[in-house]
Amino acid sequence: MEETVNVQPARLHELIQEKLSRAGLRKDQANLVAEHLVFADACGIHSHGAVRVDYYAERIAKGGVTLDPDIMFERTGASTGIVHCDNGVGQYAALNALDYAIDMAKESGAAIVGAKRISHCGTLSYYVKRAAEENLIAISMCQSDPMVVPFGGSENYFGTNPIAFAIPREQGAPVVFDMATTVQAWGKILDARSKNQQIPDSWAVDADGEPTSNPHAVQGLLPVAGPKGFGLMMMVDVLSGMLLGLPFGKNVSSMYTDLTEKRNLGQIFILIDPNRFTDLPSFKHSVETMVGELHEIAPAVGFKQVYYPGETNQINYEQYMSKGIPIAEKILDYLESDTIHFNQYGGTGSFATI
């Protein structure tokens, strides 16, 4: 098993920003991406943290991201709009779309804003948490490349197609829930690879369609809860892809096949102002009451307590931001090296067999 090293958040941010800047990304954009990846690692979502830097650096260096995107907001209604992102780096483009959505929701009471033609945007919890900190209810969904065997099928069609949800509360950080519609996100398998760990054989299948515990052998992911996850990933693809006039299903671009090509992905933000339905203090108090009542439930055998969905990520965040973030030693070695990227992802297919 690969050893991990505790890294202070500011140092990790600096290393990531420097690596992405050297790959060709503008400093302001590299700063935003670094903030996002540090957030993911601090939450314990290592699948979407520093493990992604090598891939991002390679795609940036090879021209698969627009370095100076012409981002344009098209308002299509009182509460709807599209942000044309020109295939800018995902975190920068998505944050632009989120800012428009927040302003629109505060003005109109609700907003549905699509981010059209973006690159990989990272963990969705980062965005919905920011919206909830503005006292809005937030939902976000995005596409990913076809890596999932549909329920009852034998070929990949949909992506991991995640969904995230956040709500403001009376005390403490917002309640944030973020999930892939697969048993586990692809990034979790990347994280297992980086640490030389096996995975549960319920996560994925190999080239023969057989369950596998070897993260390097994965050739198909499985939907969470069978047909239920299958239905959810279809919904995500419709709302974040088809609705924006983008490729969908098996036609969504691969993360790794050609890193010189733009990805043309879609993401959707759905924001609601609670004040338009009830008064905000009462709403936030109700959320706080719910959290308290969940904490008071007697835990089942083997559990310490009942946590609200996503709570362990917030606990990790508070701990790691103060005490340091555990990073796989070989990832830290790469970040501290002079190597911009290892030129290992291009042409490797959806599952980056490297």
- In degrees, to the nearest 5, what angle opens at C-alpha 90 toward C-alphas 265 and 274? 90
The predicted model scores a pTM of 0.94
Whole-angstrom distance between the N-terminal and C-terminal Cα of the chain? 18
pLDDT digits (tens, 9 = 90+) for 237-277: 999 999 999 999 999 999 999 999 999 999 999 999 999 99
Dihedral of alpha carbons 285, 287, 290, 296, sign: negative
**Mean pLDDT of the 83-91 span:** 98
Question: How many whole angstroms separate alpha carbon 212 and alpha carbon 189?
Answer: 11
pLDDT digits (tens, 9 = 90+) for 39-73: 999 999 998 999 999 999 999 999 999 999 999 99
> Chain-wide mean pLDDT for the chain?
95
Q: Is the pLDDT of residue 103 over 80?
A: yes
Q: Which residues are marked as active site?
A: 120
Give the DSSP letter string of 236-274: HHHHHTGGGT---GGGSPPSSS-TTS---EEEEEEEE-G
Paired residues of 66 in beta bridges:
88
How much of the chain exceeds pLDDT 90, in percent? Answer: 87
The residue type found at 31 is N
Question: How many whole angstroms separate alpha carbon 354 and alpha carbon 349?
Answer: 10
Q: Is the pLDDT of residue 142 over 70?
A: yes
The tally of CA atoms less than 13 A away on the side-chain side of residue 128 is 30
The residue type found at 181 is T
pLDDT of residue 189: 87
Structural contact between residues 33 and 92, judged by C-beta atoms closer than 8 angstroms: yes
CB atoms within 10 A of CB 11: 16
Question: How many whole angstroms separate alpha carbon 188 and alpha carbon 276?
Answer: 38
Pairing mode, if any, of strands 175-179 and 163-167?
antiparallel
Paired residues of 116 in beta bridges:
84, 266
Q: Is the pLDDT of residue 230 over 90?
A: yes
Domains, the chain: 4-286+309-336 (3.30.1370.60)
pLDDT of residue 354: 55
Structural contact between residues 268 and 240, judged by C-beta atoms closer than 8 angstroms: yes
Question: How many whole angstroms separate alpha carbon 210 and alpha carbon 205?
Answer: 5
The tally of CA atoms less than 13 A away on the side-chain side of residue 18 is 12
Task: Tell me the residue length of the chain.
Answer: 354
pLDDT digits (tens, 9 = 90+) for 272-294: 999 999 999 999 999 999 999 99
- Name, in order, each residue with C-beta under 8 angstroms of 137's C-beta and a sequence gap of 6 or more: 166, 167, 168, 271, 272, 273, 274
Which residue shows structure tokens 């190597």?
Answer: 339
Q: Is the pLDDT of residue 1 over 60?
A: no
**Mean pLDDT of the 189-209 span:** 88
Q: Is the pLDDT of residue 37 over 80?
A: yes
Question: How many whole angstroms separate alpha carbon 132 and alpha carbon 294?
Answer: 20
